Structure 1
């Protein structure tokens, strides 16, 4: 039994194995270690037992839904193991494989609908990079916000009590707050009123 940790369990219907194998290879190329049954279960072994032995060492799960939908074994995996991932607060990532229901939200099992999903039918945002971010729990940075032409740059969260403190003589002053997710909110008043 291997004592190393795995980054992600690739839960899939065996009929979609070639698409999942492709994803597993790309993840490995990016330095991640997927638990993929072909690589982790010896011939003649019970895959369920192998997975049970490793489940505590797996950081996240990608539930792959392909053109074949959820398979019976896959449904059993989901029912049996997802509760453990939820209890451990591990990322659970629904993955829509290429060829599965293009152009609309796939029919996901009810419990997966609440999770943000990755769609390999789309080119942008890049699905493999999005999957990697889900596995590693890495957040994306929004684009840098540049002041509009003719607008003075202000430190995020800076509050001015008067127009003079803001460094201009205009009658309106404003507080600009840029939150962690780069949302902008402003508040202000006209000092001449």
Structure 2
């Protein structure tokens, strides 16, 4: 599946986690924040993407309903789907804003409950949460990424600040004896970036 993520920029915090999960499920996702670079013409990049993807996910909300961009994108996708039955348009409801008349008859996915995993499963046809997790884990393993797990932080493939590989990261832990709390995390030996949190023991 090659999917275009049509959304209003104010909905990015709700949309981005789903786009990331879809990538981990093997979907070739076109998401503007990941694809458009300084110097690119936005209409040109969007038009190019809409002409080659096979799925357009329209994230619908009050914000989207007021966006000329989103309306142009779904109208373009719907027109293309009339000429090519392999193109799918999937409305994704972010709130209770009614869908436009032309999108109402298309099977939609709801994210009004903020259940990102369920929405991702519906979009790619995975039945259980366990299968979702197994598929995402398999994608990570097959990627060949050198990643490590750090208590207090989680999985890291590299430094968020300087981009150093995971081999340049090290775990740390400290005890706050006055409060009897344990803290742990990860630091970069190359630039000093440091992140972590309290560990409950």
Q: TM-score range by the shorter chain?
A: 0.5 to 0.7
SS at match of 2:63: coil
Give the structure with the larger strand fraction: 2
Contact 1:62/1:95 (<8 A) preserved? yes
Over the aligned positions, Cα root-mean-square deviation in angstroms equals 2.4
SS at match of 2:107: coil
Residue 82 of structure 1: how far off its partner (Å):
2.6
SS at match of 2:112: coil
Q: Which residue of 2 aligns with 1:44?
A: 39
Q: Deviation string for 1:132-152 (max 9, x for gaps)?
A: 23xxxx8x7xxxxxxxxxxxx
For residues 17 and 29 of structure 1, what CA distance do their matches in structure 2 show?
18
Q: Which residue of 2 aligns with 1:128?
A: 120
Give the structure with the larger helix fraction: 2
- Give unpaired runs (5+ residues) of structure 1: 1-5, 141-193
Q: Which residue of 2 aligns with 1:53?
A: 48
TM-score (norm 2): 0.55
Query: Does 2:68 correspond to 1:72?
Result: yes
Q: Which residue of 2 aligns with 1:115?
A: 106
Residue 58 of structure 1: how far off its partner (Å):
0.5
TM-score (norm 1): 0.57
For residues 10 and 119 of structure 1, what CA distance do their matches in structure 2 show?
15
Larger CA Rg, structure 1 vs 2? 1
Within the candidate set 27, 30, 33, 1:32 is matched to: 27
Q: What is the aligned length?
A: 124
Deviating beyond 3 angstroms after TM superposition, the runs of 4 or more aligned structure 1 residues are none
Residue 37 of structure 1: how far off its partner (Å):
0.8
Query: Does 2:5 correspond to 1:10?
Result: yes
For residues 110 and 13 of structure 2, what CA distance do their matches in structure 1 show?
16
